Amino acid sequence: MINYLRLSITDRCNLRCQYCMPKEGVSLYGPDEILRYEEILKIVKLAVSRGITKVRLTGGEPLVRKDVVSLIRQLSSLTGLQDLSMTTNGLLLADFASSLYQAGLKRVNISMDSLNPEKYQQITRGGDLQKVWAGIAAAQKVGFSPIKINVVAIAGFNDGEILDFARLTLHNPWQVRFIEYMPIGQNNSWRPEQFLTAQTIRERIESYYSLLPLETEKQSNNGPARLYKIIGAQGELGFISPVSEHFCHTCNRLRITADGKLKTCLFSASEVDLKAVLRRGGQEEDIERELTEKISWALAHKPLRRDFTANLMKRCHHPMVKIGG
């Protein structure tokens, strides 16, 4: 059942992570090119009417968009929307955590690819790890749960930190998720020798700790992550394998880019233009009917599998910051 929508609200970001965008940055959408908040609300309301129950806000960095708390407050009030969350790099989270939680945000995923301040600054091209830690502390203080920490595992860069990340779960009720490094974007610098399978990462942890697989019901509520727990730990470990072990048959998500393109698959160049419908003009009921038809079409035509060769995965030439994390 497809019940999950990942919605990018901006392509702007206060970092330039190496796997997300080229060093020189990307051409940004103008203010008239991205979806307005009232357009986002209309799309989400119609998507909920077609069975979407979970929405995750992404970017770019969603917290750099003005009045994001107001958007969250309006989204959280939609009847039928059961879960509202956000993926963030955490740099601004200390400032926003309390207002986000009060507005109705349920959960946060925080991207953090190194525990070493210098290496973190390197991969993000300037990020301050201390601000991320402050964001995590603020999120935990106000009540976000579970706090999920996303780690893109890259051989030769942060593979020596796998155990350190895993140990974060020993005394913290967090879910640390290891994500395979994906070759997305025309200028992505992905190389085969940088790739680590989720199985390799898990086996490295298992060489030091006994891992307990979590029950099926909990697995199904956490999307593609295969969940484990170090015996006796407070938190959990997740392993996400979009490259080595495809999960297309269990994928329950659609994506909408910041400029209003509906995507049925992260790795596909195929898109449905929702913004064009919203701004074409006409009777409100006609616009809503056509939007609903397009959403229904996407739900019915989501691919059941894909080829995982690097060439085919690069059919999607947009950098990750343009698609939404």
Nearest Cα residue to 65 out of 9, 140, 122? 9
Write down the pLDDT at residue 19. 80
Q: Give the tens place of pLDDT for each residue, 191-241.
A: 778 899 999 999 999 999 999 999 765 555 566 889 999 999 999 999 998
Write down the pLDDT at residue 314. 45
What are the domain boundaries of the chain? 4-323
Write down the pLDDT at residue 284. 96
Arithmetic mean of pLDDT over the chain: 88
Q: CATH for 4-323? A: 3.20.20.70
Write down the pLDDT at residue 56. 97
- Highest-scoring range by mean pLDDT, 165-169, 268-272, 300-304: 165-169
Q: Give the tens place of pLDDT for each residue, 53-73.
A: 999 999 999 999 999 999 999
Distance of CA 63 to the CA centre of its chain: 14
pLDDT confidence tier of residue 24, bands split at 50, 70 and 90 = low
212 or 17, which is more confident: 212
Q: What percent of the chain has pLDDT over 90?
A: 71
Across the range 22-31, mean pLDDT stands at 74
Distance CA 53, CA 50 (A): 9
pLDDT at 124 over 80: yes
Write down the pLDDT at residue 187. 46
Write down the pLDDT at residue 224. 81
Indicate the residue type of 248: C
Across the range 176-205, mean pLDDT stands at 82
pLDDT at 14 over 60: yes
Strands 272-273, 261-263: parallel, antiparallel or unpaired by DSSP?
antiparallel
